[in-house]
Amino acid sequence: MTKIIEGHITAKDLKLALVVSRFNSFITDRLLAGACDAFLRHGGSDKLLTVVKTPGAFELPLITQAMARTKKHDAIVALGAVIRGDTPHFDYVAAESIKGLAQVTLDTGVPIIYGVLTCDNVEQAIDRAGTKSGNKGFEAAVTAMEMASLLRLIEKP
């Protein structure tokens, strides 16, 4: 019979770190609240939850890498909000944050979940931070639970 492996969505005994950018904090505070809500509502313990703040999304990869290297967390969620302005700055920040985080997750083997909004305007960001389009912070934390569980199942079947 075909063996199908799928992760469980539970935060019981999960050591989770949330690395959150302060830039556009009116959005990232909402993403952080959503991620904490998901963690606690899925059985997580606040004693196993660590929150670290960075100045902006550009700084997320370095701090996430430092957190991943401690090997103290089963998964890490990076949260941020990059919102397009009048200059190309948006493109550089958005590109470097995803590139850096992708590198960290593969280099360290720790699941890093990309909870960074990349939006054309403030309205799009608000929609994704707990209004019309849900809360991407909540969704990212649920993905972290599944990925941590999946890795555990693969490494220790």
| Active-site annotation, residues | 89
Residue 58 to residue 136: CA distance in whole angstroms? 19
CA nearest to 75, candidates 58, 50, 107: 50
Shortest gap between Cβ of 118 and ligand INI (angstroms)? 9
Q: Does 99 bind ligand INI (CB under 6 A)?
A: no
| 148 three-state secondary structure | helix
**Binding region for ligand INI (CB under 6 A) out of 40-48, 84-92, 127-135, 148-156:** 84-92
The CA R_g of the chain, rounded to the nearest whole Å, is 15
- In this structure, the strands spanning 134-135 and 129-131 are antiparallel
CB of 78 or CB of 110, closer to ligand INI: 78
Binding ligand INI by CB under 6 A: which of 16, 82, 141, 147?
82
Asked if residues 112 and 148 have their Cβ atoms less than 8 Å apart, the reply is no
The residue of the chain with the least Cβ separation from ligand INI equals 56
Residue 62 to residue 20: CA distance in whole angstroms? 12
Q: Does 52 bind ligand INI (CB under 6 A)?
A: no
CA nearest to 14, candidates 44, 46, 41: 44
Contact letters (x/-) for ligand INI, 12-41, by CB under 6 A?
---------x-xx-----------------
> Restricting to residues 102-121, which ones interact with ligand INI according to CB under 6 A?
none
Q: What is the contact surface with ligand INI in residues (CB under 6 A)?
A: 21, 23-24, 55-59, 80-83, 85, 89-90, 93
